Amino acid sequence: MNKRAVGSIHEQKAAELLEKEGMKIIARNYRNRSGEIDLVALDGEYLVFVEVKYRADDRKGTPFEAVGRQKQRKIISTAQYFMMKNGYGAETPCRFDVVGISGTEIRHIKNAFWC
C-alpha cells in the first residue's frame, strides 16, 4: 500500500474519533500554496485545524514529535488562508489539534500548539 492510501486510512480513523467526540468535520485534505491541513472541524464555537500523524512504531519518534515548529508554521499559514477564503473573521475562535496514531493506539491532543 502506498503512503497516500495509508494516510487516507488513518485520516479516516482520526475523523471518526473526532466525530465520536462531538466534532463536525467540514473539510478534509485542504490544500493551498502554504501547505495542507488534514482535517478541519467545528467543535462548538471553535474552528479546529487537525494534523494527523501515523507511525507504525516509535523507532523514528512519536507521531507528535513529527509536528515540529516548521510544520506548525505551515499549518498556521494554511489555516489563516482557509479562514479568509471561507469567510471566517479574526474573531473566530480557533485551535490547532494533533491526532497521533502509533501502531493501533490513537490519541487526540487539543491545543497541541499555538499561533
List the chain domain ranges.
3-113
CB burial class (10 A; 0-12, 13-18, 19+) of residue 49? buried
Reported pTM: 0.94
Query: Which tens digits make up the pLDDT trace of 72-114?
Result: 999 999 999 999 999 999 899 999 999 999 988 999 999 999 8
Quick: pLDDT tens for 53-82. 999 888 888 899 999 999 999 999 999 999
CATH 3.40.1350.10 fits 3-113, yes or no: yes
